[in-house]
Structure 1
Amino acid sequence: MTFTAGVPHDFSELLLRLYRLSHELPIDAFQDAALDLIKPVLPFDSSMWGTATRTDHGIDIHTIHLHNQPVEMVTAYEQVKHIDTAALEVGKRPRSTLAFNADAWFCADDQAELRDYGRRFEQANFFISSDANPQTNFVHWLSLFRADPEAHGTEEERQLLASLSPHVMQALAMNRVMHLDRLEAGGASPGGSAIGDLRGVLYHADRLFEATLKAEWPSWHGRALPDALLQHFLQGHARFNGREIVVTHRVEQHLLFLRCRPRCRADSLTPREHTIAELLARGDTHKEVAAILNRSPATVRNHIQSIYDKLQVSNVAGLIHELRLAG
């Protein structure tokens, strides 16, 4: 691959391959594949790719993907992040890219511990590119490391990463949305969807998700999940039943994949009633349901009448329709 002003002649082909990967690969494979795609045109040995909030004591990491680095690196970085002046520098502007030698950049007397950390994890030369929100101090960044102290990054390479990184970050966002779409494939009930991290920051939310959540929390601003909802999920609950809405989630790759919808009549069923309703929907008679649940047929008939009353239906076809609305 040849270069002109820091950009490869087949840069467009590289981007097409990157976006193709974002659509084709599962969420747990995309980031390593994207980095392997970059490596031939911008050589590096390892990487740290994630999101964080900038604080007075260094970055507060929300999500992180390590490429050819041990997990201990994150714990070790927490001990030295307060003296990481490179992270401070890239956070000064909404979008910036640096290329530097670690010993030359972290040369102050009080940064000796950071230099030792870099040698331990073979981070002799750095590339860092970031996209920061100055209002929220939230930053999405990509760091590439070279182990060879003599393998300094060039200005041409820095410009290449500056051109590439917005596409890399957008491709990651697209890969996550594609994963969300796959999770929802075949879902019968209408509803909104979103992706957030375990700190509550939202990376993606469609209009229906935002409108539905505002029905429950009218003053919600949309940048992060309502704290009551986040804490409910962090306490181990899979489902949030609000006054106006129902929200479900699953966790993958340290992200929350969320689905919300307005409450419907089926949400008023008790767990036992919901079980009976599901059995009826699959075609079991009330006597078969009684045998399955080890209850008398009379007791099951009473439950069925309560279910029909709550769902405001008079037959199994209506029951099936109401259950589908609940997804």
Structure 2
Amino acid sequence: MGAGTDVSAFSDFVLRLHERSRIEDPAALLHWSIAELADILHADCGWAGWADLWNGNDVEVCGAVAYGLPDDFQSFWDSIRREDLLARDVIATGNAQACYDRQGERHTDGMIALSDRYNIRKMTVVCELRSDGEPSLFMSFYRGDRGARPLDEAETQFVRCAIDHLARLSARRCEAESGRAALLVNDEGRIVFAPPDSLRFLRERWPGARANYLPFAFTSPAAEPTRSVTDGVVVQSRRLGGYFSRPFHLVHLRPAGAFDTLTPRERQVADEIAKGHTHKEIARRLAMSPNTVRNHTQTILGKLGLSNRAMLASMATSSAAI
């Protein structure tokens, strides 16, 4: 194992990865990892994400991030994806890695075009091989010099172990309480990544849903977090970082509770009541008249089937939905 990919280097990478996983979502972890690993491996550039490898040669990259590559890299790859020899080899052999050499003897027109367009001479992909048909996490590293070599066995082993840690930490970040779900999806509502418990939640709630997609209409939300109620399930979505060729969204799902029937303004009033504020104090804090606060309070009590503010305060304090 080379000096750049020895046990010490791997331990250092894993320690830093674990530290970042405490605060970063799976997409941000991937973005950080591809840059760090490219530097460790002395690669000129890299590409990483989640790919559906289970449709023959018609591989689909559900979401990816590029390092050291132009913004149009994924769109160009999409145009030649059926000629990608790396994907073909992984699917045909069942191996978790594959290499392509522009100076070698095995080519397709698409691989030649990709190599020449982005000045990539040596390509190595390493991926996880999932048995459940879900998208696989992959990392590709590229070297452009004519005298460069593909990743050697020690380097690919380094990447394979890094992917394993990244996949586990990403699943841990998405783990939710029982009866809830957390998923990474793209703009089309395609599920890019989700731990088993989250997929189980979806299938129990929507047993006839289309596989690999959110079981409800999902339109790309704005940069601000969004919240809605669908089929008795609260859907909260947050758009992730601007470093992806196509947007990712972190979606949280949970069964709707009593407070989820309230409008956002009513929830604000209920929250203030739970804090013990009077109508006048709430009016001042929320920039509305005391009469409007009273009207909201009566509406809230009616929706929740409560008779007074004390009961509302008690319910609001104990409810995780507020």
Q: Give the TM-score taking structure 2 as reference length.
A: 0.76
Query: For 1:274, which of 255, 267, 274 is the aligned residue?
Result: 267
Q: Which amino acid aligns with 1:159?
A: E
Counting matched residue pairs gives 303
CA 101–17 in structure 1, closer or farther in 2 if over 3 Å, else same: same
Aligned ranges for residues 65-76 of structure 1 at < 5 Å?
65-76=65-76
Query: For 1:21, which of 16, 20, 41 is the aligned residue?
Result: 16
Instruction: State yes or no: 1:252 paired with 2:246.
Output: no
Residue 227 of structure 1 corresponds to: 215
**Cα deviation 1:185-225 (Å, max 9, x = unaligned):** xxxx9862423231422523363x4565455324569x634
Bigger radius of gyration: 1
Q: Which amino acid aligns with 1:62?
A: C
Residue 321 of structure 1 corresponds to: 317
Please state how far the C-alpha of 1:235 moved relative to its aligned partner: 5.9
**Cα deviation 1:123-152 (Å, max 9, x = unaligned):** 111212233446637443221111111223
Please state how far the C-alpha of 1:51 moved relative to its aligned partner: 1.8
Residue 145 of structure 1 corresponds to: 142
Query: 1:98–1:158: 8 Å Cα contact kept in structure 2?
Result: no
Please state how far the C-alpha of 1:326 moved relative to its aligned partner: 1.0
Residue 205 of structure 1 corresponds to: 195
Which stretch of structure 1 is more off in the superposition, 123-132 or 303-312?
303-312
CA 195–14 in structure 1, closer or farther in 2 if over 3 Å, else same: farther
Distance 2:39 2:71 in 1: 21
CA 306–76 in structure 1, closer or farther in 2 if over 3 Å, else same: closer
CA 95–150 in structure 1, closer or farther in 2 if over 3 Å, else same: same
C-alpha RMSD of matched pairs (Å) = 3.5
Please state how far the C-alpha of 1:266 moved relative to its aligned partner: 0.9
How many percent identity over aligned positions? 18
Query: 2:58–2:81: 8 Å Cα contact kept in structure 1?
Result: yes
Residue 192 of structure 1 corresponds to: 180
CA 50–105 in structure 1, closer or farther in 2 if over 3 Å, else same: farther
Q: Which amino acid aligns with 1:23?
A: H
Which stretch of structure 1 is more off in the superposition, 125-134 or 143-152?
125-134
Q: Which amino acid aligns with 2:126?
A: S
**Cα deviation 1:74-123 (Å, max 9, x = unaligned):** 22223332322232112224433223412424545xx1x54243123121
Distance 1:101 1:194 in 2: 39
1:50 aligned counterpart, secondary structure = strand
Residue 265 of structure 1 corresponds to: 258
Instruction: State yes or no: 1:173 paired with 2:167.
Output: yes
Q: Which amino acid aligns with 2:52?
A: T
Q: Which amino acid aligns with 1:247?
A: V
Query: 2:183–2:252: 8 Å Cα contact kept in structure 1?
Result: no
Query: For 1:120, which of 117, 132, 140 is the aligned residue?
Result: 117
CA 205–51 in structure 1, closer or farther in 2 if over 3 Å, else same: closer
Which stretch of structure 1 is more off in the superposition, 140-149 or 31-40?
31-40
Please state how far the C-alpha of 1:34 moved relative to its aligned partner: 5.4
CA 136–33 in structure 1, closer or farther in 2 if over 3 Å, else same: closer
Q: Which amino acid aligns with 1:144?
A: F
Residue 133 of structure 2 corresponds to: 136
Query: Which runs of no fewer than 5 residues in structure 2 stay unpaired?
Result: 242-246
Query: 2:124–2:142: 8 Å Cα contact kept in structure 1?
Result: yes
Residue 102 of structure 1 corresponds to: 102
Query: Which runs of no fewer than 5 residues in structure 1 stay unpaired?
Result: none
**Cα deviation 1:229-263 (Å, max 9, x = unaligned):** xx335366822313432221212144332322222
1:16 aligned counterpart, secondary structure = helix
Please state how far the C-alpha of 1:171 moved relative to its aligned partner: 2.8
Distance 1:234 1:81 in 2: 25
